Amino acid sequence: MIHCRAAEELITGYVDGELTADELAAIDEHLAGCPACRERVVHERQTKELVGGSHREESAPERLRRRIIGAIFGKPDAAAPSVPKLAPNAGIKPIKPESTSICL
């Protein structure tokens, strides 16, 4: 029977379904007798759900997009304005070390 430390290393793979048959048998046996590691599995699944659901790419409806762009550029319900392209580093000056003391 494996100990908690060994089980913890397998929990992510267990939740992701990536364990070998031997690893799966070992962690199943451990989880049957260890409420703390079962709790870790629950947390790992919740974390996976949160992370998995957070990177879905959705775009705003066109009307909402126009309202937001209008609010930003002061034109209600305006079409998307063209954004001027800036040259690399345009308007950005390197900060001199002696000028940072002003901020402190």
32 binds Zn ion, rule: CB under 5 A: no
Q: From CA 11, how far away is CA 5, in angstroms rounded?
A: 10
Closest CA to 37 of 12, 2, 7, 6: 7
Judged by beta carbon, residue 28 or residue 77, the one nearer Zn ion is 28
37 binds Zn ion, rule: CB under 5 A: yes
Determine which residue in the list 1, 4, 25, 68 makes contact with Zn ion, applying CB under 5 A: 4
Q: From CA 95, how far away is CA 27, in angstroms rounded?
A: 55
34 binds Zn ion, rule: CB under 5 A: yes
Asked whether 59 and 49 are in contact (CB, 8 A), the reply is no
CB of 24 to Zn ion, least distance (A): 15
Contact region with Zn ion (CB under 5 A), list: 17-25, 33-41, 44-52, 65-73: 33-41
User: Is the sign of the CA dihedral 24, 28, 34, 36 positive or negative?
Assistant: positive
Per CB under 5 A, residues contacting Zn ion are 4, 7, 34, 37
